[in-house]
Structure formats: C-alpha cells, structure tokens
Structure 1
C-alpha cells in the first residue's frame, strides 16, 4: 500500500521557506528582536509541520482512499507533538510573565483585551471564509430552522466544530484544529487562578468569578465537538509551567543552551518522530519535554530557530495554523482537475502541495501584515489606554 513519503517533507519545507524569504522582500515583516526568540522559531516550525501532517492526510485520502497516516510515525507526530509544543509554549510564556510580575499584581483587564484582539480578528475572518465555502457547497441555500443556524455560528465563535448550515462535514474544512484554540482559552481562563495558587498573585473576587465563568463557558460550548478533552492533552501546559520555573536557575540555562545539548535535542526529536507513532507514551513525551526545556533555556539549535527566516515563520505561525486547513480543503475538495492530477501518484501530490505551501506563505504573510499586526498594535494601544484611565482614576480617588 502506498503511504505518504516522509522524504517529501524536505522539498516542501524548502519551497515554503524560500517563498517566505521572497515574499518578505515585498510584505516586510520584521522579526522580533527580544524575548524568547528560540520559541518564536520553534512555534513557526511547529505550525509548518501541522500543515505537513494535514497534507499527508489528504495524500493518503486521495491516493489510497484513507484519511489516516497511522503507518507513518513522523506525520502522526507532526500533528500531535506540534500542538503539544504549542501548549508548552503558552504555559511557559504566560507563567514567565507571572513570575516576573512586579509586586505580584497583574492588570488582568489588559491581559484579556490583548488576548482577544490577538486571537479573534483573524479567526473571525477565517470563519467568514468557512461560511462562504459552506454556502458554495450548499448551493447558497440556508436550511431552516434559522435558530439552529445562528446557534451553530455561536458554537464556532467558541471554537466548537459542530455542523454549519446542517453540513455535517464542516469540521473537515478546518481539519478539526480548532479544539486547540478552545483549550488555549480554557488555560487563559484558569491563568489568574493558577497565579493566585502558585505565586500568590493578587486577584479579586470579581476576577475569580469571571475566570470560572469563562472556563465553564468554553468547556460547555465545546462539549459537542471536542473529542480531545483528556488529562494527557492538557498536561503540556504543566510542562511549560514547570519549564518557566526551571529556567530561572542560571545553571539550568547555561547547561540547556550548550551546543552539545543542541545536538542531543535534535537527535531526541528525530528519534521521537521516527520510532514512535504517538507522543501519548512516556518515553517520547519525556524526550520532547526535555527538548522543550533546553530550547526554553535559550538553545537555538545551532541558530536554526533564531535565523531571520525562522523568526519570520514564527511571526506568521498563527496565520499558518488557522489558514492552512482551509486552503488544503479548497484545493483538494473543490477543484476536480487538481484532484484528478494528484490522485495519480504521491509524487504529483507533493509537487502540487509544494505549490500550495508557497501560496500559503504568501497568504499568511499578508494576513499577518494587514490583519494580525494591526490588531496586535491595537491591543497594545487599548491596554495602554486602560492603564492611563486606571491611573487617573486612582489619583482622583
């Protein structure tokens, strides 16, 4: 039986990176120059491997008739491990902010405003794209009852992947990736409570009630579509939190950032991806967690994670994560000529997918530049304005 070739990842990644380099000559995305830069690059490559994971699924579906990559360890890990590392990064970055907080106080209003403006603007646009696709597939017919159609959209606003316009395969348009965004928001809701418990961060009763309400809201709204709600899928946040404490030790940082450790990290990642069919096992999970701690300590893996193009890839990683499944669906579901071409062989599939990857880099660069970045800046401005208002209010009282 033909399976997606793991060697196909190298030309696809090469085409994506070259395309990103070229498009950035025109779009001009500036890489970050401070902060946890290795994690920026890591985030970018994880988003790219999720794209490869779903591309491999389409390859197997179109060439062999099966939506599965169970026999290909690397492609399975590209899906599972990448999302786990996203969760580790979230736990690490946000708990680091708590640890560094002066006077053990956080402006939680600023925090939630910034999170909302970071996540939702691009997602709403992608959701509109999905609704347009559903409209096309439904011959522009809105099926009654209309109250159900409205509720479906509300569920999707909470990242719950239910039907849309009674189209039961709507989650396939996003390759069911939205569960991770719901999980991220559940972590954001718990964040103040975790800070209060572990770091004695000051929080009000109002914030406690808001956090619990937000957590319950995302949890309940995702019950219909979330099939991944397990302790295992939440545990990477704890790995990130543990790493945030661990790297505060300068000896850990010194050891973790050594070049010999970089070599071992690369070997551990390759070994985990090659010899294990899932990260849901103690040994591969341990290898990936140790690798993450080393990278969180500042290890750039010989500069792979901190070179110019890797940092740009990290900047557009959210766009890649949200947009790639929609692009794959459109290309491999709605263009019969392309479907006929790529169904003939793996080689033709991966050649076309390289072109799709290049197109993805163009789209995501533009979406970051003209959608994500303006709203990130707006979040900063709104946050500063909130601080000013609170400062004036405290002075007058």
Structure 2
C-alpha cells in the first residue's frame, strides 16, 4: 500500500516505504518529470489525428504557446511542454534546412559553445530553447561535431543511454550507502568517483544486451 503512490503519475507526493523517510533517494529524488512524460504519452492518440497536417499543427502549437507568453517568461508547466513541442518542430523543419556538413558542424559547435557560455543553471528560457533547436536540427541532419560524435565509444554510450538512465539512480544509491557505512563518502579519493561510474556502465551494457535488445526484437 505504501508503494502504490509511486505509480501515481499525476503528482509527486511519494510516501516513505517501510518507514524509510528518504525513499525518494532511490531515484535520486527525480520524479517530477514523470508527470510530463505520461502527459505526452497519453496525448499520442490525439497527436495521431493530426498526422496528415502535422506541420500546421506543430507550428500552431508553437505560435499558441509563444503568443500566450509574449514575455517569454513561461509558466512552469508550459516550459516543459514547450520542449516537447520544439522536439516535434525539429522533425517538421529538418528537411527545409539542408546545408553542407561543414556548415552544420560549425553551427553545432557555436550552439553548444553558446549553451556553455549562457550557463543555464537548470533554467529554461527562449534563448536556450533556440539553441537546443539548432543543436537538434544540426545533429539529425548529419552533423557529427567534426567526427567526434562518430567515435565508437560515444556511439556505444548512445545505445546504452536508456539503460544508464534507468540504472544509475539505484547503483549510485547503493554505492553511496556503502561508502557512508565505511565513512568514505566524502573522501577526496578520485577512484571512488570512477568506481560507481564504471559499475553503471557495465551493468547498463548488460541490461541493454539481455533486456533491451530481446524486447526490441520482439517488436520486430
């Protein structure tokens, strides 16, 4: 019964489980995004109805959100909904922005550098939204940051990224609990930082190979 609220995607009030008041640490305390993810998934049947007029629909959504927030100081909910809409926008306009790969790589480099300069500090604003759109369009049109993104190690990280996303909170939680028990949690030993990271990559590789791939094959 205590675990049932954790399956509630409408709010983020997660009750402690088995009397452990910091149960949310198991997910790194990051649960608020689930509300927006579920909202997007449930909206897919509605979005499907507009598939034949997808460009008009997406541009209309962008106009509606921007027009109703003329100051670009979005309400908290619209900030994250707008990011989903911008992702759809990238798909709709990518074929209209065909440039040479060199220009795409230069634009990608400038956009990424600009994001670092702005130092967003987890805040979403109109300038960062524009930069995210530029970065996404460049990559889906073939930009590879002068070959860096084609590195075999980065490509493998991309494949197991979902497993990393799922597994890293649990592994970090267990690792930090063990380090806390032995009073080494705040030690300056750099190897203690790389050890959990290595374990995350190894376990994520295994879950990708033995869980993700078999389920993707079932879909085929």
Unmatched tracts of structure 1, length 5 or more: 1-147, 202-227, 381-397
For residues 284 and 185 of structure 1, the distance between their equivalents in structure 2, rounded to whole angstroms, comes to: 24
CA contact (8 A) 1:253 1:298 kept: no
Alignment equivalent of 2:78, drawn from 214, 231, 235: 231
Alignment equivalent of 2:45, drawn from 189, 192, 212: 192
Unmatched tracts of structure 2, length 5 or more: 55-74
Aligned to 1:243: 90
Give 3-state SS (helix, strand or coil) of 1:177's partner: coil
For residues 173 and 205 of structure 2, the distance between their equivalents in structure 1, rounded to whole angstroms, comes to: 20
After superposition, residues 1-397 of structure 1 pair within 5 angstroms as: 148-149=1-2, 151-152=4-5, 154-155=7-8, 162-163=14-15, 164-197=17-50, 199-200=52-53, 230-249=77-96, 252-254=97-99, 258-272=104-118, 275-338=119-182, 340-344=183-187, 347-348=188-189, 350-380=190-220
Could you say if the C-alpha distance between residues 175 and 229 of structure 1 is closer, same or farther in structure 2, counting changes exceeding 3 Å?
Answer: farther
CA contact (8 A) 1:258 1:299 kept: yes
Offset at residue 159 of structure 1 (A): 9.7
Offset at residue 189 of structure 1 (A): 2.0
For residues 162 and 316 of structure 1, the distance between their equivalents in structure 2, rounded to whole angstroms, comes to: 28
Give 1 or 2: higher helix fraction.
Answer: 1
Offset at residue 281 of structure 1 (A): 2.5
Could you report, residue by residue, the CA deviation over 1:190-238 in whole angstroms, capped at 9, with x for unpaired residues? 123123235358xxxxxxxxxxxxxxxxxxxxxxxxxx97111121111
RMSD: 2.9
Offset at residue 168 of structure 1 (A): 3.3
Give 3-state SS (helix, strand or coil) of 2:98's partner: helix
4+ residue stretches of structure 1 with deviation over 4 A? 158-161
CA contact (8 A) 2:108 2:134 kept: no
TM-score, L = length of structure 2? 0.76
Alignment: residue pair count: 198
For residues 153 and 180 of structure 1, the distance between their equivalents in structure 2, rounded to whole angstroms, comes to: 13
Aligned to 1:96: none
CA contact (8 A) 2:163 2:208 kept: yes
For residues 255 and 351 of structure 1, the distance between their equivalents in structure 2, rounded to whole angstroms, comes to: 43
Aligned to 2:63: none
Could you say if the C-alpha distance between residues 150 and 169 of structure 1 is closer, same or farther in structure 2, counting changes exceeding 3 Å?
Answer: closer
Could you report, residue by residue, the CA deviation over 1:72-102 in whole angstroms, capped at 9, with x for unpaired residues? xxxxxxxxxxxxxxxxxxxxxxxxxxxxxxx
Could you say if the C-alpha distance between residues 194 and 276 of structure 1 is closer, same or farther in structure 2, counting changes exceeding 3 Å?
Answer: same
Offset at residue 326 of structure 1 (A): 1.1
CA contact (8 A) 1:305 1:311 kept: yes
Could you say if the C-alpha distance between residues 153 and 243 of structure 1 is closer, same or farther in structure 2, counting changes exceeding 3 Å?
Answer: closer
For residues 174 and 295 of structure 1, the distance between their equivalents in structure 2, rounded to whole angstroms, comes to: 30
TM-score, L = length of structure 1? 0.45
Offset at residue 182 of structure 1 (A): 4.5
For residues 113 and 79 of structure 2, the distance between their equivalents in structure 1, rounded to whole angstroms, comes to: 24
Aligned to 1:86: none
Could you say if the C-alpha distance between residues 276 and 161 of structure 1 is closer, same or farther in structure 2, counting changes exceeding 3 Å?
Answer: same
CA contact (8 A) 1:324 1:360 kept: yes
